[in-house]
């Protein structure tokens, strides 16, 4: 059973996971408008991942006898100066989310909730992947610079990304 502090913190994290989805859909819209459908696809897939992360937390709260409390989601930033700017902003956001996950883990430890610690370990590992993916794309975009051909090649690469639901959501 979740402590009230941990239940409240997990509910707040659901908000941030779903805000992330909202943010990445906004960035997908930016890329669509900038005629980069591969980049838009990549962000749409990322948005689906974030929705799944929130769903996993929602389910955990329910499974542990807690009460979900969905909180309002703020409007995301919608405009960017470049693909690089959008990915740098996204990487900063993922760094923020990582900090929140680490704080949740520390709270679970301080509350003596071993089940929540085990549950949150997946998110700790997931954030390593998230930061690595965004970080790699930032590096690629910096390497590309103003090379339009490089940008179009990366757009083609990003168009191949597909959403794979996390095992926790597999039916």
CATH number of the domain within which 120 lies: 1.20.1260.10
Contact between 20 and 93 (Cβ < 8 Å):
yes
| pLDDT tens digits, 74-97 | 999 999 999 999 999 999 999 999
Whether residue 14 is contained in a domain is answered as yes
- Within-domain flag for 111: yes
Q: Where in the sequence is the domain holding 13, given as residue range(s)?
A: 4-160
The count of domains in the chain is 1
Q: Hey, how many other C-beta atoms are within 10 angstroms of the C-beta on 106?
A: 12
3-class secondary structure for 118-171?
A: HHHHHHHHHHHHHHHHHHHHHHHHHHHCCCHHHHHHHHHHHCCCCCCCCHHHCC
Backbone φ, ψ for residue 90 (5° rounding): -65, -40
The answer on pLDDT for 171 being more than 90 is no
Provide mean pLDDT across the span 32-37. Answer: 98
Residue range 18-30: mean pLDDT, rounded:
98
What average pLDDT score do residues 40-45 get?
98
79 in a structural domain: yes
Residue 140, in any domain of the structure? yes
Q: Strand, coil or helix: what is 159?
A: coil
């Amino acid at each position: 059973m979740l402590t009230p502090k941990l239940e409240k913190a997990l509910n707040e994290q659901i908000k941030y996971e779903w805000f992330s989805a909202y943010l990445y859909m906004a960035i997908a819209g930016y890329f669509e408008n900038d005629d980069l459908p591969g980049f838009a696809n990549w962000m749409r897939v990322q948005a689906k991942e974030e929705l799944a992360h929130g769903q996993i937390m929602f389910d955990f709260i329910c499974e542990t006898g807690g009460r979900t409390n969905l909180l309002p989601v703020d409007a995301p930033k919608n405009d960017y100066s470049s693909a690089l700017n959008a990915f740098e902003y996204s990487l900063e956001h993922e760094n923020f989310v990582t900090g929140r996950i680490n704080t949740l883990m520390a709270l679970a430890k301080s509350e003596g909730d071993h089940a929540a610690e085990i549950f949150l370990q997946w998110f700790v590992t997931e954030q390593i992947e998230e930061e690595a993916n965004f970080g790699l794309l930032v590096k690629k975009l910096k390497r590309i610079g103003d090379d339009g051909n490089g940008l179009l090649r990366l757009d083609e690469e990003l168009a191949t990304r597909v959403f794979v639901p996390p095992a926790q959501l597999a039916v």
